[in-house]
Chain A
Amino acid sequence: MTILPKALLIVAALGLAACKNPDRFGAGGAGGADGAGGFGAGGIGMTGLGDPNDPTSIAYFNQAVGDRVLFAVDQSTLSPEARMVLQGQAQWLNANPTYAIIIEGHADEQGTREYNLALGARRASAVQDFLISQGVPQNRMRTVSYGKERPIEVCSDEACYAKNRRAVTVLSMGAGV
């Protein structure tokens, strides 16, 4: 995968910022929702993206290794191209074992909400399974599906849909997942 535009890096940073927010439901939700045991608020911390010229930085992983793979409509099978990217990811992740890994699965907007959540989970899981097969320990990884809730491209054409049908490997410091 070629060097990704700077915009992606910013989006990735925003994604991390959103994740680290220890948000409550507010509006009187106090006695309420439990944080995710050991994996919620704070678990994702403020990891610096680092210098993209540093081959052990998250920025390098995102840009040079490639943090995402794309899927065909309704599919969760990995294309030969996706496998190449994921082999690169696995190599890098095995060489940099301190990062914790969350694999986000996403769908395009052409689908119902629940189905897209399930489809995003399939995609994230397909990536996780492949990374495991390449020697990345399962206990470093966790999957999450956003369904169609977080498109990266906002047009309603196949050009955008193709980029939204994705699984993104998101890194943070601390392998103690």
Chain B
Amino acid sequence: MTRNRTLSALLGIAVALLAGVVSPVAAQQGPLRITITDGVIEPLPFAVPGFVPENGAAGEYAANITRVVAADLAGTGLFREIPREAHISTVSNFDAPVAFADWQAINAQALIVGAVGVSGDQIVVKFRLFDVFSGQQMGEGLQFAGTPGTWRRMAHKVADAVYSRITGEGPYFDSRVVYVAESGPKNQRVKRLAVMDYDGANVSYLTDGASIVLAPRFSPTGNQILFTGYESGFPRIYLMDLNSMGVQALAQTEGNMTFSPRFAPDGRTVVFSLERGGNTDIYALDIGSGSVRQLTNSPSIETAPSFSPDGSQIVFESDRSGTQQIYVMPASGGEGQRISNGPGRYGTPVWSPQGDYIAFTKQNAGRFHIGVMRTDGSEERLLTASFLDEGPTWAPNGRVIMFTRESAGAGGQAALFSVDISGRNLRQIPTDGPASDPAWSPLLP
């Protein structure tokens, strides 16, 4: 702790930011030139000189990895990269002593030094993080090894380590997002399942667009996807294995439609909605045995179930009160306890992977919002507002939310956006075309 006095002070600020509590008083105490005015955080300046290529084959990888590390950190809104042109020093040897004065002179608070070596089908990436103003290394150096095709993942791993050490939050850059890629006019949308890195890179398509697909969800291990599809002409839940690409229809019940599936934390149970005679309730399916259990029993619409991370409770939406509201029930089912209490309608609740918040979609006064609340409904906070925002999904660290934003009118299109849980750093995720229904994977191993 003591050896990182300056960055530790920053850590306090970063955590405060993530918790949505900005304290100008605390900001004035630290030695850093971090200015907080009207709740706007001054991002932490960092420098990442080009990672050193340790042999001829590593040159391009080193440049690309450096670029992705910088983009990951700057993309959080918590960090600001000091551009290469402003650097006084260059780093040409990973193990050479750091010229701290040169980095202090350009006011870099954090310095990331890295190196990349490539031999045959192996790539090795290593890095060290320095607290420039204390002149100390922050945490130990780390090394990652893999095939060259995984270079982006290694860059994300480096950035994740830096992010975690400075903010105290869990990592999330090395993760993927499954979503629905959209094309075609509004009244004849073509929808395909697609999966990409969290930052929009490495897209691959999982279905061909011949039938409507909706709302995919990752399994807890990240190698399976649940979704709702119209392949049979009727909405039904499916399970796709990402290794074999095999697709299996689940909970086949003739004449009933099934939708809104989501895994339990055990990866063996799926909760979903089943419609019977116009009434929708929540059911649980044991994938192994195929047995189905009814969890809610009410003439109203019960849908959008999501487990607490410990698997003991399920948050869901119901319109039993007359409008969509959010309820929590035991995993075994039951009436549930209403937790949403503000004006408007609340839907699509999703329990945070850390268990501390529930994200939701809120409709009020003709606008849509993404928001978060505590699991008892308190401390409700709206993070976004637009014509149509819906369907939040949590980053693996529970500190960033991705969602669908759709624009109005005949030419309206959907896009993916992310925002941190303080409501800051709203960003559009780059996708090839219109996109909707994102679902974040767990952190990759």
Q: Which A residues fall within an 8 A CB radius of B?
A: 14, 19, 21, 23-37, 39-41, 43-44, 74, 76, 109-115, 117-119, 121-122, 124-126, 128-129, 142-146, 149-156
Contacts and interface: CB of A to CB of B under 8 A. Distances in A.
Contact of B278 (A28, A30, A36, A121): A121
Nearest to A123: B278
Contacts of B303: 114-115, 117-118
13 contacts: A23-B231, A25-B207, A25-B213, A27-B207, A33-B232, A39-B234, A76-B278, A109-B388, A113-B391, A117-B273, A124-B278, A150-B188, A156-B409
Contacts of B301: 115, 118-119, 122
Contact of B185 (A28, A114, A124, A154): A154
Contacts of B236: 36
Interface string B247-274: 1110010110101100000000000010
Please list the 10 inter-chain residue pairs (A to B) with the smallest Cβ-Cβ separation, ordered nearest first: A125-B278, A26-B208, A23-B210, A32-B247, A36-B232, A28-B245, A156-B408, A118-B280, A154-B410, A118-B301
Contacts of B191: 149
A20 B214 CA distance: 20
A156 B412 contact: yes
B186 interface: yes
Contacts of B212: 146, 149
B169 interface: no
Nearest to B209: A26
B246 A32 contact: yes
Nearest to A156: B408
Nearest to B189: A149
B435 interface: no
Contacts of A156: 387, 408-410, 412
Contacts of A129: 278
B311 to A, nearest CB: 21
Contacts of B174: none
B120 interface: no
A114 B278 contact: no
B207 A144 contact: no
Contact of A117 (B207, B209, B254, B259): B259
A144 B437 contact: no
B246 A118 contact: no
A112 B210 contact: no
A21 B391 CA distance: 29
A145 B274 CA distance: 12
A49 B412 CA distance: 32
Residue among A113, A126, A145, A153 with the highest chain B CB neighbour number at 10 A? A113
B48 interface: no
